[in-house]
Amino acid sequence: MPRLKDPQSLGPRWRAVLDDCVAAIAWSGDGRLVAAASAAGAVAILDGGSGQALLRLAGHPQGALCLAWAPQDRLLATGGADGTARLWHPTSGHEVAALEGGAAWVEYLAWGDAPYLLATAAGKHLKLWSADGRLLRTAEPPHASTISGLVWHPQRGRFASCCYGSVRLHAPLKAAPADVFEYAGSLIALDWSPDGRWIACGCQDATVHLWEVASGTDLQMSGYAGKVRALAWDPTGRYLATGGGADVTVWDFSGKGPAGSKPRILSAHLKPVSHMAYQPQGGLLAMGGPDGIVSLWNPLKPARPMGLARPDTQVSALSWRPDGQHFVSGHTNGDVVAWSVPSEGRGFGL
């Protein structure tokens, strides 16, 4: 049998350094800027081509936790341990508004498109805001426990949240949930397939639970080594990558779906993978975790990673540039590193 080709070394395109652990990171929609939030509270706006620091936003006094670009990059929203979400002009650094989340920490943010609406989650409280910072409504009743996931599906004009025991679907014009999917367990990760068909949750009990949105039919994948905190859908909604251990499993949802099938297994990490992200317009999958390894895969060829790097500092965030030619990783020592896709992966698509 011929020897498998070793993976290419991922080459850093540029590197920047924050003053603390990178809590969240995201490319702007036009690919020109990278926003990176520090656990110490500040938020850096970096040049996407060079990593040069362009702005330093004051952020959140007790620490920044999350961030999200508004559609067309008009605003940057950040959430923090001061109980607020804040809106910023990303080019001037001007703070547009401070939004009271309703609990000590604002841990999740999600923007909707046309009109531009921002959903925030803090503790048990879910709120919806206009782009100028006006509170439009508070979801009622409050969640039964701390909200552990929030995602907007712009094609469906709805957003979803999860907590212990349930997933709620929300229509922007209604305070009460439009639908509720129940599960007797702790849901700790949430993602909605790009085609709108499936909602997936990673669970504390080492399972992945899914609902088909239209019918409410649910299914479950089990056998993971530990709690499942990392989920990632490919841009078509056909493949779902799931963490829960050092190996990542990729399930095929085409045809009759994954029931009774065997997933592809991606093995390169030494500790449970904590962060994964699919290429926005292709089939490549980037991942990283506490072992200090960053890997890049074509999951349809799972024998080996396409590229591998060992920064030797724990990965705390990942984000792809919208054109899919680069991705960035954030690390617990404050490093922000942009990685170029190896030549064999450029132009790769599904």
**Residue 71 placed within a domain:** yes
Domain identity same for 47 and 121? yes
Question: What's the burial of 255, exposed, middle or buried (CB within 10 Å: 0-12/13-18/19+)?
Answer: exposed
pLDDT for residue 350 is more than 50: no
Domain identity same for 22 and 104? yes
Domain identity same for 31 and 115? yes
Quote the domain boundaries for residue 110. 17-134
**Residue 204 placed within a domain:** yes
Across the range 176-186, mean pLDDT stands at 93
Domain identity same for 46 and 92? yes
Q: What is the pLDDT of residue 173?
A: 83
Q: Is 344 helix (H, G, I), strand (E, B) or coil?
A: helix
Domain identity same for 54 and 127? yes
Assign residue 123 the CATH number of its domain.
Answer: 2.130.10.10
CA dist 273 and 260 (Å) reads 25
Q: How many domains, in total, are found in the chain? A: 2
**Residue 127 placed within a domain:** yes
Among 107, 134, 161, the domain boundary falls at 134
Could you give the angle at the alpha carbon of 294 between the alpha carbons of 337 and 283, nearest 5°? 100
- Give 58's contacts (C-beta < 8 A, 6+ positions apart): 41, 42, 95
Cβ atoms of 233 and 239 within 8 Å: the answer is yes
**Residue 52 placed within a domain:** yes
**Residue 241 placed within a domain:** no
Domain identity same for 156 and 214? yes
pLDDT tens digits for range 272-283: 999 999 999 889
**Residue 253 placed within a domain:** no
Percent of the chain with pLDDT over 70: 95
Domain identity same for 122 and 169? no
CA dist 79 and 19 (Å) reads 18
Q: Is 18 helix (H, G, I), strand (E, B) or coil?
A: coil
CA dist 31 and 10 (Å) reads 20
Domain identity same for 127 and 147? no
pLDDT tens digits for range 92-136: 999 999 999 999 999 999 999 867 899 999 999 999 999 999 999
Query: In whole angstroms, how far apart are CA 267 and each of 225, 293, 295, 307, 333?
Result: 14, 12, 10, 13, 25
Identity of residue 190: L
Can you read off the two tokens belonging to residue 282?
């292709």
CA dist 78 and 116 (Å) reads 15
Assign residue 146 the CATH number of its domain.
Answer: 2.20.25
CA dist 334 and 312 (Å) reads 13
Domain identity same for 152 and 82? no
Query: In whole angstroms, how far apart are CA 243 and each of 171, 205, 233, 272, 303?
Result: 30, 13, 12, 7, 17
Across the range 314-329, mean pLDDT stands at 97
Count of other CB atoms within 10 angstroms of residue 4: 8
| Residue 221: HSE in the Cβ half-sphere, 13 Å Cα cutoff | 29
Among 187, 213, 229, the domain boundary falls at 229
CA dist 234 and 263 (Å) reads 14
pLDDT class for 197, splitting at 50, 70, 90?
very high
Among 89, 111, 134, the domain boundary falls at 134
Cβ atoms of 226 and 206 within 8 Å: the answer is yes
Across the range 200-227, mean pLDDT stands at 95
**140-160 exposure pattern, b = at least 16 Cβ within 10 A, e = fewer:** eeebeeebbbbbbbeeeebbb
**Cα–chain-centroid distance for residue 127?**
20
Percent of the chain with pLDDT over 90: 85
| Strands 307-309, 8-9: pairing kind | parallel
pLDDT class for 171, splitting at 50, 70, 90?
very high
Question: Torsions phi, psi of 74, nearest 5?
Answer: -70, -35
Can you read off the two tokens belonging to residue 266?
């991606």
Can you read off the two tokens belonging to residue 297?
């895969």
Domain identity same for 177 and 191? yes
Across the range 150-179, mean pLDDT stands at 91
CA dist 340 and 286 (Å) reads 11
Could you give the angle at the alpha carbon of 150 between the alpha carbons of 209 and 248, nearest 5°? 45
